[in-house]
Amino acid sequence: MVRYEIEKMLIEGSLAVKDIPAVWNRMYKDYLGIDVPSDREGCLQDTHWSGGMLGYFPSYALGSAYGAQFLSVMNQDLDVYGAVAANDIAKITAWLGAKIHQYGCMKDPKDLLEEVCGGPFDAKYYTDYLEKKFSALYGL
């Protein structure tokens, strides 16, 4: 969220590039209680920024949300977690190749998701995935 909020400020013109390190450090402290030891471990950790590319955080977040919905559908076709536990991902790779990867950028992500999942994007798959994951990790 720190990266996303800073990008928004940069795009809207309310933050100068020279001020990124100070804002990054303040936000890390405010949000997470973490003191950033250096710019290398703070704002410069993002390889996208050093290449002048903005907007990757939202695209990764959307990709994760789409992935949760794909995972739910894949779990109907095969035992994903069992395959991973057995270190046998061939079935997973085959499923992804047949359903998603073969299309590359030939299909719009929205259309591909609807074809694979049988309906439109639904954020509930992602929130359910996150709740299950973090409940298990932190005993919630």
Predicted TM-score (pTM) of the model is: 0.72
Alpha carbon separation from 103 to 48, 60, 89, 125 (Å, rounded): 26, 19, 20, 23
Say if residue 90's pLDDT is above 80.
Answer: yes
Distance, CA of 136 to CA of 103 (rounded, Å): 35
pLDDT at 124: 97
Looking from the CA of 138 toward its CB, the CA atoms found within 13 Å total 7
Tens-digit pLDDT profile for residues 94-139: 999 999 999 988 999 999 999 999 999 999 999 999 999 999 999 8
Say if residue 50's pLDDT is above 80.
Answer: no
* Over residues 58-74, mean pLDDT: 92
Distance, CA of 43 to CA of 21 (rounded, Å): 6
pLDDT at 94: 97
Tell me which residue of 84, 54, 59 sits closest to 71, measured CA to CA: 84
**Contacts for 21-27 with beta carbons within 8 Å, 24 or more apart?**
27/2
Tokens of 96: 């992804």
